[in-house]
Amino acid sequence: MYRSLATYLERLEREGELVRVKVPVSTEYEIAEITDRLSKTPGGGPALLFEQTGSDFPVVTNMMGSDRRMALALGVERLEEIGERIDSLLKQATTPPDGLWGKLKMLPLLAEVSRWMPRTRKGRGAAQEVVWQGDEVDLTKLPILKCWPCDGGRFVTLPMVNTIDPETGIRNVGMYRMQLFDRNTTGMHWHLHKTGARHYEAYKRLGRKMPVTVALGGDPAYTYAATAPMPDNMDEYLLAGFLRRKPVTLVKSLTNDIFIPEDCDFVIEGYVDPAEEKVVEGPFGDHTGFYSLTDRYPRLHVTAITHRRAAVWPATIVGVPPQEDAYIAKATERIFLAPIRLAVQPEVRDLWMPTAGTAHNLAVVSIDHRYEGQARKVAQGLWGAGQMMFNKYLMVTSSACDIRSLDSLAALIRRVDPVRDIHFGEGVLDVLDHATATCGYGGKAFLDASRIDPATPEPKITLPRSYEPVGGVQLVNTAFVERWSTLVLYADRDCYDEVDVPAYLERNNLRGIHFVLLFDYRAAGFMNDEDLLWLAAANTDPGRDLSLWEGSLILDARSKRPGVGKNPARFPNIVTSIPETIHRVDERWSEYGLGELVPSPSRRYRKLWLSDEAQW
């Protein structure tokens, strides 16, 4: 579909979706701050091509950071087209052929599928036009970004990490960040639950070094496929071939036996030695909006670097949502809905993961509701399915509800009975979830709204004219009560102090409100609806931070004092730029050619910054 990343960028420029920044910029903080500002503008802002980066290579960011660019990246006008193709394909594949004629009708389907299969060829590809080996290997010559001030170093953020299962020979392509350590080593951040980590453990059992080849750039369909929640042991390049309606052509790496797309921009080859002690990696300003904490991960030893002669370095910036990853997640919703129906829950009609949930914290599904307990069955099934196992808060509605309509959701939530409709569980969570006491494991909750009729009368709530401070609650926000039956409270002291929310509700006769959210005093007065939802989901473990009082569900979304009670041992800070970077970008804005000054989001979010002794 696209012969190279440059070809895709040319298409974006013709479509008015890309802006070139022609003046010199720093790969340390400056590119991230510029990208963060524009990616948070309505619609996601433009893709950005930074032409002067202090290296031989330009850097592109936000290349899939809008609905339009995501569709262009995958070669469609509407992302729904891909879901419709998959739905049609699966219907054909799951319909038993009837007799000889039925079997013959299946042949075109088999022929079509065979056309997507990746193909290998001999010789070198465009990605291997320039070769650095031996003493020439030098990762510091690449424009690898350092995005945020507390990052542990520079990170490769859009790598397609290719590994092979040593026992089955099946390939996996995953996206795992890589921290630059020196000219020929990086960290390899694959989580315990990821396929790359499973391959690592297999090589460790066998006592063998693990070959790894990392590709960057090329057709953006490759990059998307590396992020997609493919079933284990299914080839991501098959998905890429399906998306681009053209097979991926692979060539062999120069220093190992792993095959990679011949038309990528960069290739980093090497190995991980499972016999080596793991190394400290991080922190990293992550897509959760918080710094992921330091931990020990394998070290990648680089044996070769190859690239196109006119290569472009692709990077993504993650942090407080929304960012580019929100649009990638939206594509995944549409593309993988049909497989979820087929393989996991056939009654699921739609799936929505709000941007504020950073892909795994929040999800809403609608189902064809037919019997008692069906919503619980769906929730349990989804929590055991692929990357949906990381979901923390889930709402289940009937198919009559348009789950992307906030008015429709609000009509249900105003009629919720928290005692009857909220259900709790425990299970696997994302390793990046900082609110849990046990890494990768914690509480879950789902709201069963599948039986609620939005036409039934809703409870009436009467609010007092004034509020008496009590129980450590100083400020109250009633803006969400009428629409969402939700009261927002702010503690009047530091996050370490105990706050008695039931006492406050009792004293002020605040009954009948379904949800009560408690935040740090730092959050008062400047956070919008999306901010509050993001912080409430990110900063809580449902098993520890949810409690019921007189029919109201209280959620404690304050920052947690590390190591106290059931709190996590370490609690990270929010991801923001430092004032020096903000000031520098403000001063240079007219040089960039990006139009009217866009204020830094970090000016707002730094109000949530924890003191040094409160974090980590």
Q: Are 348 and 90 in contact (CB under 8 A)?
A: no
Q: What share of the chain is helix, strand, coil (3-state, %, to 5)?
A: 30, 25, 45
* 20 class by beta-carbon count within 10 Å (0-12 exposed, 13-18 middle, 19+ buried): middle
The Cα–Cα gap between 443 and 393 comes to 9
H helix runs in 253-354, sequence order: 324-343
Strands, E assignment, 208-338: 210-216, 249-252, 259-261, 266-272, 279-281, 284-285, 291-292, 295-297, 299-307, 313-314
Pull the structure tokens for residue 228.
């997609």
What are the b/e assignments for 147-166, b being 16+ CB within 10 Å?
Answer: bbbbbbbbbbbbbbbbbbbe
The Cα–Cα gap between 353 and 356 comes to 8
Q: Are 487 and 454 in contact (CB under 8 A)?
A: no
- Measured N-to-C along each axis, helices 220-227 and 324-343 cross at an angle, to the nearest 10 degrees, of 60
The Cα–Cα gap between 442 and 440 comes to 7
Pull the structure tokens for residue 177.
């960040």
Q: Are 277 and 298 in contact (CB under 8 A)?
A: no
Number of residues written out for the chain: 616
The one-character DSSP state at 29 is T
The Cα–Cα gap between 106 and 85 comes to 16
Pairing type for strands 362-367 and 393-398 reads: parallel
Tell me which of 36, 263, 265, 286 is the catalytic residue: 286
Q: What are phi and psi of 581, to 5 degrees?
A: -70, -45
Pairing type for strands 47-52 and 18-24 reads: parallel
The Cα–Cα gap between 516 and 504 comes to 11
| Residue 421 annotated as catalytic | no
* 385 class by beta-carbon count within 10 Å (0-12 exposed, 13-18 middle, 19+ buried): middle
* 222 class by beta-carbon count within 10 Å (0-12 exposed, 13-18 middle, 19+ buried): buried
Q: Are 507 and 521 in contact (CB under 8 A)?
A: no
The one-character DSSP state at 438 is B
H-helix or E-strand spanning residue 505:
helix 501-507
Q: Are 64 and 328 in contact (CB under 8 A)?
A: yes
300 has which bridge partners? 186, 272
Q: Are 504 and 470 in contact (CB under 8 A)?
A: yes
- Integer-rounded Cα Rg, in Å, for the chain is 25
Catalogue the active-site residues: 286
